[in-house]
Copies of this chain bind each other. A is one copy, B any other.
């Protein structure tokens, strides 16, 4: 199963990605978590020791140069547009608590075609991860999802857009929905986060008519306190863990329906 998670900065994409990765892993799935948002730190949320020491793929200069055939010794002016990437996930991912993690680094966005060696490698890598790997792949992404691209959008079983009760997160959700349709990605579902009351839930449902909601994650002061005290986040709130388990079940059911 391939799950991409997007939404406005600060809504809680990384928390959901981490808890889903943990839930799938604990249920016996082989899980590959991908940090594709330079503004988050999936490694630290997943509890990896020394997350600051993980070099993102885009920063592995020699790897980028070798695979795209660029670099000082290669001359300039051209590089390989379809670099080999199939061995990268196993060689360059980190592992902790049964979860494999890859940190992508700076992925430049689509638009009129922005070519540079790092981007070419990362794009090829994402394509490979989505199309050719048979793990559960969980992609923690920026709001700009254009780099999924037409070729890989089909492979995404579910694009989850995380929203919180606030106008800007809804605006971003609508932008993402539009981008997703532009690249042919239709399996979109929402997850509400930081829900303080039933009226928060109703606000989100009525603001996003026609969208499937996989669940509503409650606001829990215990999580905020754990964060401020620098304690691990993932076990800090049982009610959040429970709700993510429901979301996990909803994802499995939805995949079964599609497989029929």
A125 nearest CB across to chain B (Å): 16
A143 touches B38 (CB 8 A): yes
A113 touches B111 (CB 8 A): no
A130 to B108, CA, bound (A): 24
Report if A115 contacts B (CB, 8 A).
Answer: yes
A196 nearest CB across to chain B (Å): 10
A144 touches B8 (CB 8 A): no
Q: Which residues of B contact A117 (CB under 8 A)?
A: 112
- Picked from B8, B167, B228, the residue with its CB within 8 Å of the CB of A9 is B8
Interface residues of A in 96-111 (CB under 8 A from B): 106, 108-111
Q: Which residues of B contact A112 (CB under 8 A)?
A: 64, 116-118
Interface residues of A in 132-187 (CB under 8 A from B): 142-144, 165-168, 171-172
Q: Which residues of B contact A259 (CB under 8 A)?
A: none
Q: Which of A115, A168, A172, A228 has the most CB of B within 10 A?
A: A168
Report if A95 contacts B (CB, 8 A).
Answer: no
Q: Which residues of B contact A106 (CB under 8 A)?
A: 109-111, 144
Q: Which residues of B contact A143 (CB under 8 A)?
A: 9, 38-39
A58 to B112, CA, bound (A): 10
Interface residues of A in 29-65 (CB under 8 A from B): 38-41, 44, 58, 64
Report if A203 contacts B (CB, 8 A).
Answer: yes
A119 to B118, CA, bound (A): 16
B111 touches A118 (CB 8 A): yes
A216 nearest CB across to chain B (Å): 16
A40 to B108, CA, bound (A): 17
A48 nearest CB across to chain B (Å): 13
Interface residues of A in 71-124 (CB under 8 A from B): 106, 108-119
Task: Considering the complex, give the chain B residue whose CB is closest to the CB of A109.
Answer: B106
Interface residues of A in 173-212 (CB under 8 A from B): 203
Q: Which residues of B contact A171 (CB under 8 A)?
A: 41, 44
Report if A224 contacts B (CB, 8 A).
Answer: yes
Binding site for B on A (CB under 8 A): 8-11, 14, 38-41, 44, 58, 64, 106, 108-119, 142-144, 165-168, 171-172, 203, 224, 227-228, 230
20 CB-based A-B contacts, threshold 8 Å: A8-B10, A8-B39, A10-B11, A14-B168, A38-B109, A39-B143, A39-B144, A44-B167, A108-B108, A108-B109, A108-B111, A108-B114, A112-B116, A112-B117, A113-B116, A115-B116, A166-B227, A166-B228, A167-B228, A167-B230
